[in-house]
Amino acid sequence: MKGGIRYHPEVELNEVNALAQLMTWKSAVANIPYGGAKGGIGCNPRDLSPTELERLTRVFTQKIHDVIGPHLDIPAPDMGTNAQTMAWILDEYSKFHGYTPAVVTGKPVDLGGSLGREAATGRGVLYATEALLKDHNLSIRGQTFVVQGFGNVGSWASKLIHEKGGKIKAVSDVTGAIKNNSGIDITALNEHVRMTGGVKGFEGANPLDAAALLAEDCDVLIPAALGGVINGETAKDVSAKFIVEAANHPTDPVADEILAKRGVIILPDIYANCGGVTVSYFEWVQNIQGFPWEEEKVNTNLKKYMEKAYLSIKSTCQTHNCSHRMGAFSLGVGRVAKATLLRGWEA
């Protein structure tokens, strides 16, 4: 099984169960050999010191060390966690089982992590967006983008889209939102965020009401923060032609219907943000083999997996005459169902 561990105040059992189920379908859509898992701690990591975070992580690992493992359940970073968190889990797990780098992915490269893993989810968003736009005879260059959430995924997606010639008009994070109709210099913004901890106060753009960000006029909207932000209330104001779900379940079912009636095309989360789990798979493979890959190989293989998955979703959509979300879920559930039957588990 495979899935992230998140540290966030709103972590609770039902959310973790739902996210684990999404990971099952996401792995199947990406066509990688994992079931879904998820974990988390209800806390605000911003309120904790590095020492407190380490103690919390190590005690958590002590409690779950017998249910995780390289052939059982392989954690990875999620909201509020990072490579350092994985390093602590690896070290604590190794006290019980011996040094086992394949127990977690998203580790520091010095501890067996994969080159390209930090950018993987954001890079996957880029490849997914390119595949979608290509289907409509468009490219990244010349399109306008709004990115909600400038954490790991949103910042990498923005950087890579910016490098491809896309115009990032507005972005937001927990500190606020900013806008520049001429396009935001993402390189300068990343440096500002590194220095100040958030997008607020960036001199190369104007302040924007965060609540109005989703309604900004653009070609592609990329929600890359919490789930449920596009709902029955906010969906009616969305002006984007395409939505690429970099976050987990950012669009609720009511919003889905509203946007579908208006012809907005949504690339669902279980495909659009599967770059992270795909490169986590590559990292696990490298650990099992004891043979690291060059970053170019990681990125080339990620692009192949993302393009193949998009073509599989497109084929399913054509077969069933359905939306991308229904096509992706049909593909994922269908692959799991086929494997279940082949193993003789049918009722």
The helix/strand/coil state of 169 is strand
The DSSP bridge pattern shows strands 206-208 and 176-179 to be: antiparallel
Is 152 labeled as ligand-binding?
yes
- Which residues, including other chains, have CB under 8 Å from residue 90's CB and lie 6 or more apart? 100, 101, 103, 104, 107, 111
Is 280 labeled as ligand-binding?
yes
Which residue has 């199947």 as its token pair? 28
The reply to whether 164 belongs to the active site is: no
The helix/strand/coil state of 5 is strand
Six token digits for residue 24: 């099952």
Is 308 labeled as ligand-binding?
no
Q: What whole-number distance in Å separates Cα of residue 11 and Cα of residue 39?
A: 9
- Which residues, including other chains, have CB under 8 Å from residue 65's CB and lie 6 or more apart? 92, 93, 96, 97
Is 26 labeled as ligand-binding?
yes
Which residue has 């500190």 as its token pair? 175
H helix and E strand count, the chain: 11, 10
Q: What is the DSSP string of 114-165?
A: PTTSTTHHHHHHHHHHHHHHHHTT--STT-EEEEE--SHHHHHHHHHHHHTT
Active-site residue, from 38, 107, 167, 169: 38
3-state helix, strand, coil in the chain (%, to 5): 50, 15, 35
HSE (side-chain half, CA atoms, 13 Å) at 74 = 26
HSE (side-chain half, CA atoms, 13 Å) at 189 = 28
Residue 181: other Cβ atoms inside 10 A: 13
Is 2 labeled as ligand-binding?
yes
Residues making up the annotated binding site are 2, 26, 121, 152, 280
Annotated binding site for substrate: 2, 26, 280
Active site residues: 38
Which residues carry a binding-site annotation for NAD(+)? 121, 152
